[in-house]
Structure formats: C-alpha cells, structure tokens
Structure 1
C-alpha cells in the first residue's frame, strides 16, 4: 500500500509541474473557456449573449395521418380516433410503431410454429398412405419416359 501511495503522490506532483510549465498559448479563463493568445492576435473574446428570441424546449409535434392514427389505435395507445389529439410527438409515434412491429413479429412467429405443426401432421398422414416424394419422382420419370417413347414411335 505504501508504494501505491507514493506512486500517486509522484504522479500528482508530476502533473502539477507540467501544468505550471505548460505553453502560454492556451490558458483557462474564469469561465473555463479556452482563450488563444498568439503574438499575432490578442483580441479578447466576446462574452456569451443570450439569443434575442426565447426558445422553449418543446418537443416538435407532428400531425398524424390516417394511417398513423390506425397505428396508434392498433398499438393500444388510444382506444378510438376521437381520443387522438391533433398533434402528437414523434416519440409517441415511434413507440407506437415499435409496439405494433413487436406484435406483428409475435403473430408471425405463431403462424410459423402453426405452419410447422400442420406440415408435420400432413407428412404423417401421407406416410400412412405410403406417399413419398421419392415415389412421386419415380412415377413422374416413368410417365415421362413413356410419353417420349410414344412420341418417338409416332414420328
């Protein structure tokens, strides 16, 4: 522990030494703004002036279209079109779109699982009827061979 403390003290004194002997081209002013002092340009910096027009930090609003109103209703944000205000924030619309996107993805996952289960059931029924893709392919090839043989005889 003692060596760690002495290392910290040595590093601190080194940084203080470097700060005191730093280049005079960059100095901190009272407002902690950087002030550049060159031999060519020693013009004092102007102080910060507040803008003449007052700006309130309001969220920019958006007038939703009919489609966006439907999205707001489907996402569960509002119950009916009458409850939707004339202007809404972009964040509200993005949140509603994201919720709807998640709901659609859940529906797609459920439909995919349902489709897989249906295919397994149909495959088992086809196996009970002794139907297979290999059998279908062999029958199709035999039929095509017969058709080509008939065409060759007629020509």
Structure 2
C-alpha cells in the first residue's frame, strides 16, 4: 500500500482511489466463496461457469467445418468453451480468406469487362453525352 501512496502523492493516482482499491481487494477475495458454490458436479453449473458450451445446430456445423469433428453426429452435447472459440476463429479466418478471393476475382472480372467495353467504344463520357442529347431533344419537343 505504501507504493500506491507514493504514486498518489506524485499525482499519478488520485488519493480517493486508494480507498476503492482496498474495497476491490476485499470484494475479489476468493476465500469468501462458499463451499456449495465450489461444487462442479452439476452439468448445468459447468455451463454457467463458462467452461463448457452447448452448441446449437449452426455451431455444430462450424465445429465440423473447422475440422474438430468428422460429422454432426459426433459433436457432443457440450463442448469446451476454448474449443468453440478456436472453431469460431478458424471459421472467421476461412470466411475472410474466401471474401478476399472473391474480391480479387470480382476485380479481375470488372477490369476484363471494362476493357471489352472500351474495345466496343463504350465509355462513361459517351453515355453521359448521349443521355444529355436525349434529354435536350425531349425537352425541346
């Protein structure tokens, strides 16, 4: 606590926060947890702790697509949270890679299409001039 007082006296930490730090230490004391809360035998308690996850149908497909399980039938009713997070991360990376590939293919396709239109003599400037000519003709009638 003397280090915190020293930091507070130098102006890096407000003095009133010293009281809140000691309160936080009391609130985060692990010995205050009752023995009934420490039991982990109940499967629902494991789910509430966040160590296991009950995947839905889409998440089961993610687990299979990420390569953790061979088929949907092999996916257990509860999966460790770390496994689910790793599968989600793999799916995010795969989707990002496919989106990059689709973007590159789309860009190449549009470049090719633009070059073909240029060979035919089509351009945005020519289309704009034709549109203005058509508007001027209809307004003069």
TM-score interval w.r.t. the shorter chain?
Answer: 0.5 to 0.7
Gapped regions of structure 2 (runs ≥ 5): 1-30, 41-45
Evaluate the alpha carbon distance shift between residue 138 and residue 61 of structure 1 in structure 2; reply closer, same or farther with a 3 A threshold. same
Q: Please report the TM-score for the alignment, with normalisation by the length of structure 2.
A: 0.65
**1:20 corresponding residue in structure 2:** none
Higher helix share: 2
2:112 to 108, 121, 139: 121
Map of 1:97-136 to 2, 5 A cutoff?
97-136=88-127
Q: What stretches of structure 1 of length at least 5 have no aligned partner?
A: 1-47, 151-155
Q: What SS does the aligned partner of 2:68 have?
A: coil
Count of residue pairs the alignment pairs up: 102
The match for 1:13 is none
Where has structure 1 moved over 3 Å in runs of 4 or more?
Answer: 48-56
Structure 1 match to 2:64 = 73
Higher Rg: 1
Q: What TM-score results when the alignment is normalised by the length of structure 1?
A: 0.59
**CA 1:50/1:112 → structure 2, altered by over 3 Å: closer, same or farther?**
closer
What is the root-mean-square deviation in Å for CA atoms of aligned residues? 2.2
